[in-house]
Amino acid sequence: MKGAGQPCFLSAGVDEAGRGPLAGPVVAAAVILDPKQPISGLADSKKLSEKKRNALYSIITRHSLAYCIVMVEVTEIDQYNILQATLAGMRRAVAGLHLQPDEVLVDGNQLPQDLPCHGRAIVGGDALEPNISAASILAKVSRDQRMIALDRDYADYGFAKHKGYPTASHLEALKRFGPCPQHRRSFAPIRRLLLHSEKCFELAHEGRCLRLPCP
C-alpha cells in the first residue's frame, strides 16, 4: 500500500555491475526515484567519472523513495553461472525494496523470473530511464568499494585499480600468484590457469617436472 503523498504509480529501475570481471561479486541494485525530487546528471554509470558517480550515489541514497543493493558472491556465480547469478541478484534487489513497485524496468534484454509485478527489459536502459541509471550508479559504486576492500586482503592482485577486470597487470598477477578465493573458477581464464597448474602437479608427481608455457 502506498503512503500519503507517494506517487500513484511506482516504477523501479534495476541494473547490475560486474558481469565481466574475473574476480569479486556481481552487484545488482533496484531504485525507485521520487518524481517530486528529480536528480540531475543521471546517466549510464560507465559514462560518468568516479567523482561524479560517488556524488550521485550519495544523492540517490538520500532522496530516492526506496533502493536495495545486493551482492552475489563468487561461490554462487561459479555454482550457477554469471547470467543466472546476475538475474538472481536483480530479483533479490527488487524483493528487498521496502515499497512494492507497479513496474520494474531492467537494463538489458532479459528479465529475472518471479518479479512481483510487470517487468520490461530495455536494451541501453541505463542511458534512457532515470531509475535504471540510478540503479546502475548504485551497483557500480558499491562494487568498486567492495573491490577496494578486497584489495586490502589480496594485495598481490591490484583489485583496487582494475576492479577484477582482465587487464594485463591482473593476468600477469594471476600467472605469478595463481587465483585467490575471490577469483571466479567458472570463467575461462581462471579455469585454464587451474588446469595448467593441475597438469604441472601431475607431471611433478610422476617425476617428470617440466616447465609448461603459461596459458
Domains of the chain listed by start with CATH number: 11-153 (3.30.420.10)
Q: What percent of the chain has pLDDT over 70?
A: 87
Q: Is the pLDDT of residue 201 over 60?
A: no
Crossing angle of helices 130-153 and 50-63, in 10° steps, is 120
- DSSP state letter for 41: T
Secondary structure element (H or E) that encloses residue 14, with its range: strand 11-17
- Which ranges of the chain would DSSP assign to H, the alpha helix? 50-63, 74-80, 82-95, 130-153, 159-162, 168-177, 188-205
Q: How far apart are CA 42 and CA 127, in angstroms?
A: 8
For residue 28, what are the β-bridge partners?
16, 70
Q: Is the pLDDT of residue 101 over 70?
A: yes
Mean pLDDT of 6-20: 92
Unique residue bearing C-alpha cell 518471479: 114
Which of these ranges, 84-88, 132-136, 190-194, has the smallest mean pLDDT?
A: 190-194
Which of these ranges, 10-14, 77-81, 132-136, 203-207, has the smallest mean pLDDT?
A: 203-207
C-alpha cell at 90: 536483480
Q: How far apart are CA 135 and CA 75, in angstroms?
A: 24
Mean pLDDT of 36-41: 96
Q: What percent of the chain has pLDDT over 90?
A: 86
pLDDT, tens digit, 9 for 90 and up, residues 125-183: 999 999 999 999 999 999 999 999 999 999 999 999 999 999 999 999 999 999 999 99
Q: How many CB atoms are located within 10 Å of the residue 70 CB?
A: 22
What is the phi/psi pair of residue 135, to 5°?
-65, -40
Residue 209: band (very low, low, confident or very high) from pLDDT cuts 50, 70, 90: very low
Q: How far apart are CA 133 and CA 111, in angstroms?
A: 17
Q: How far apart are CA 184 and CA 94, in angstroms?
A: 25
C-alpha cell at 186: 567458472
